[in-house]
Structure 1
Amino acid sequence: MNLGLTVGYWQKSVEDLTETVQAAERLGYDSVFTAEAYGSDALTPLAWYGARTSKIKLGTAVTQISARTPTATAMHALTLDGLSGGRLILGVGVSGPQVVEGWYGQPFGRPLARTREYVDVMRQVWSREQPVTNDGPHYPLPCRSGTGLGKSLKSIAHPVRSRIPVYLGAEGPKNVALAAEIADGWIPFFLDPSMVESVYGDALADRHPDFDIVAPVTTVVTDDLDMALQIAKMPLTLYMGGMGAREQNFHLDLIGRLGYAEEAHRVQELFLAGRREEAVRAVPDELADATSLLGPIERIKDRLTLWRDSPITTLLIAGVRDEPTLRALADVIRG
């Protein structure tokens, strides 16, 4: 199982985590991943960290496909991959209707079909086998409206790699199946390692042998397990309660598939009512513990068995910033 680090997106103010990323590289971490929601973007920090490192892989978990056209994302990717010496892992995802329609001003419909077209266009850009075209309805190239002067083009730049790895951030079984079909890896969310097969086994059945399952896991190393559980509940509360509309919240649906549908709806009700502390307390301890690595380092070492016995191939440590803890985790995970 590979070991990586996820630093997420900025929380309110600027977060330059260069020292953390450099420490992870020194300790042999395989990758560092960034993210974006509706604030800081995922690609700029990777360029910053990539310029200050030499070996660690640079991943996005994830860039939102509605934020950029597929050719724009392909340009970002080939540029960053080239400057970093072929270190990019491009994770992409559809986000949800609240962000796509409220932030990017685009309709959310047909996310699977949009993703399929998006990935195909990017791979055409990188391969440079012929001018890029797309007959699909979502990203037609050349454009079918306007002046009629649009011309199919081939990238002027020659990518360092003609096939940059593309991973899909996916939660629903159909989207996970799409990842197994067209992508090089899958980035799940709030994953219980003991339930990967029961929840996603069918969706992952046709994945290729080198398919990478990259699982971010909230990690809190402390002797105070109760405090660790409270910390782990905070992102669960935010995503069940606030990262999606009341009527459609993919994260809420995911927690339901893990067996906590009633509890998830209660958390959402409390969160949307402004009762945030109650919402955190309403997250079941068992759910927070199952989707995280919490407590003293020996307890984490014991619980790693569940992750090693699952189909997960890369573990992304989330929430750790200091080098001593990164070192301790590296020792137990590799041990």
Structure 2
Amino acid sequence: MATTPRWGMTIPFYDRSLADSQELIAELPALGYTDAWSAEVNGVDGFTPLALTAGWASGLRLGSAIVPVSTRGPGLLAMSAATLADLAPGRFVLGIGASSPAIVERWNAGEFVKPFARTRDTLRFLRKALAGEKVTEKYETFEVGGFKLERAPRTPPKIVLAALRPRMLRLAAEEADGAITNWLSPQDVRAVRAEIGPETELIARLFVCVSEDAERVRELGRRMLAGYLTVPVYAAFHDWLGRGEVLRPMHEAWAAGDRRAALKAIPDEVVDDLIVHGDAATCRARIREYVSNGLDTPVLAPIPGGETTITQAVRDLAPVEE
């Protein structure tokens, strides 16, 4: 099988700091990776790893997956995006999204209000600002008066949206340059693709554990899944995908404060659906299932816990002809 056109990696890596990631990031292009995508939760910010990678691995496309639209003002978000677009002309993709109440309100003292509208308004503002326009406009969720970038990028970056359900997916298809999602199975890709059509780029972060110890991976996976799938937006996403009933015991135990029972209630098949695991060849084949079902850009996130180190996993998961 020929290599897929895009094959991304999450940076920095889960087992090391950004400062300790340079050597392995610099290897990525030679290994066959085409993309490096950051994240922004409570570790590194979404932009600094990409700014450094622009110099460490000059051939990679760089993307943020994702930067929340409610933790920065619109102007600051435009300035950060313009800086990356200047450092990596034509290679930077700005991924933005609504995020969650915990990140926006509890951790950043912001307001998680009208998340769909805030994402839409930010997208529309950024389109104008990154094109070098002076923006004076009252949007539904904020107002901007006379903002203009001092130095607009020669090549405005593409903008992609974090999208989990039909309304946001359709916005990504109609007004953005792509959609980002995660925590889905290869079969789920078809449902997502059906909402955005064949022309919109679909990007997904795939959590991968290179390990043949399935029980150990499932124990690790249950802890990860409980942390995500109990967040309302992800719970709604999996309801839409058809997992509502099978995940109901987990949600009930979690709501009752019984974390141990919640973890135990996640079936093996759900973990196996949502986390790629096995030896490296099995993992690569599974990733290609996602691609065959309509995923354009798999962004791998190797997780520790298996018998293979993260460094070796990054090397072993590189795209090869099979």
TM-score range, shorter chain: 0.7 to 0.9
Are 2:179 and 2:202, in contact at CA under 8 Å, matched by a contact in 1? yes
Question: Which residue of structure 2 lines up, in the alignment, with residue 235 of structure 1?
Answer: 224
Does residue 31 in structure 1 map to residue 31 in structure 2?
no
Aligned-partner Cα distance in 1 for 2:247–2:206: 19
Does residue 296 in structure 1 map to residue 313 in structure 2?
no
Residues 275 and 18 of structure 1, relative CA distance in 2, 3 Å threshold = farther
Residues 160 and 73 of structure 1, relative CA distance in 2, 3 Å threshold = same
Question: Which residue of structure 2 lines up, in the alignment, with residue 325 of structure 1?
Answer: 313
Match of 1:77 among 67, 76, 81: 81
Q: Which moved more, 1:317-326 or 1:61-70?
A: 317-326
Residues 267 and 225 of structure 1, relative CA distance in 2, 3 Å threshold = same
Match of 1:188 among 172, 181, 187: 181
Residues 7 and 52 of structure 1, relative CA distance in 2, 3 Å threshold = closer
Aligned runs of 1:247-326 on 2, under 5 Å? 249-271=232-254, 275-319=258-302, 322-326=310-314
Aligned-partner Cα distance in 1 for 2:144–2:201: 31
**TM superposition score normalised by structure 2:** 0.86
Q: How many residues align?
A: 312
Question: Which residue of structure 2 lines up, in the alignment, with residue 131 of structure 1?
Answer: 134
Are 1:8 and 1:36, in contact at CA under 8 Å, matched by a contact in 2? no
- Aligned Cα root-mean-square deviation (Å): 2.5
Aligned-partner Cα distance in 1 for 2:31–2:171: 34
Runs of 4+ aligned residues of structure 1 deviating over 6 Å after TM superposition are 8-11
Gaps of 5+ in 1: 143-151
Post-superposition CA distance 1:249-278 (Å, at most 9, x none): 111122222332234343234445554444
In structure 2, the residue corresponding to 1:231 is in which secondary structure?
Answer: helix
Question: Which residue of structure 1 lines up, in the alignment, with residue 99 of structure 2?
Answer: 95
Question: Which residue of structure 2 lines up, in the alignment, with residue 157 of structure 1?
Answer: 151
In structure 2, the residue corresponding to 1:220 is in which secondary structure?
Answer: strand
Aligned-partner Cα distance in 2 for 1:259–1:55: 39
Q: Which moved more, 1:252-261 or 1:265-274?
A: 265-274
Shift of residue 134 of structure 1? 1.8
Aligned-partner Cα distance in 1 for 2:101–2:315: 39
Aligned-partner Cα distance in 2 for 1:300–1:39: 26
Are 2:71 and 2:110, in contact at CA under 8 Å, matched by a contact in 1? no
Q: Which moved more, 1:249-258 or 1:64-73?
A: 249-258
Residues 220 and 153 of structure 1, relative CA distance in 2, 3 Å threshold = closer
Aligned-partner Cα distance in 1 for 2:174–2:273: 28
Question: Which residue of structure 1 lines up, in the alignment, with residue 44 of structure 2?
Answer: 40
Question: Which residue of structure 2 lines up, in the alignment, with residue 177 of structure 1?
Answer: 170
Residues 19 and 231 of structure 1, relative CA distance in 2, 3 Å threshold = farther
Aligned-partner Cα distance in 2 for 1:40–1:265: 33
Aligned-partner Cα distance in 2 for 1:133–1:315: 37
Shift of residue 302 of structure 1? 4.1
In structure 2, the residue corresponding to 1:32 is in which secondary structure?
Answer: strand
Shift of residue 201 of structure 1? 4.7
Shift of residue 112 of structure 1? 2.0
Are 2:18 and 2:49, in contact at CA under 8 Å, matched by a contact in 1? no
Gaps of 5+ in 2: 304-308
Residues 27 and 302 of structure 1, relative CA distance in 2, 3 Å threshold = closer
Aligned-partner Cα distance in 2 for 1:236–1:6: 18
Are 1:270 and 1:278, in contact at CA under 8 Å, matched by a contact in 2? yes
Are 2:67 and 2:95, in contact at CA under 8 Å, matched by a contact in 1? yes
Shift of residue 233 of structure 1? 2.7
Aligned-partner Cα distance in 2 for 1:94–1:9: 24
Aligned-partner Cα distance in 2 for 1:81–1:305: 30
Question: Which residue of structure 2 lines up, in the alignment, with residue 115 of structure 1?
Answer: 119
Letter of the 1:231 counterpart: L
Are 1:217 and 1:292, in contact at CA under 8 Å, matched by a contact in 2? yes
Aligned-partner Cα distance in 2 for 1:121–1:9: 32
**TM superposition score normalised by structure 1:** 0.83
Post-superposition CA distance 1:29-57 (Å, at most 9, x none): 11111111245321122223333221112
Shift of residue 196 of structure 1? 2.6
Does residue 223 in structure 1 map to residue 212 in structure 2?
yes
Are 2:163 and 2:172, in contact at CA under 8 Å, matched by a contact in 1? yes
Question: Which residue of structure 1 lines up, in the alignment, with residue 195 of structure 2?
Answer: 203
Shift of residue 74 of structure 1? 1.0
Aligned-partner Cα distance in 1 for 2:48–2:55: 11
In structure 1, the residue corresponding to 2:123 is in which secondary structure?
Answer: helix
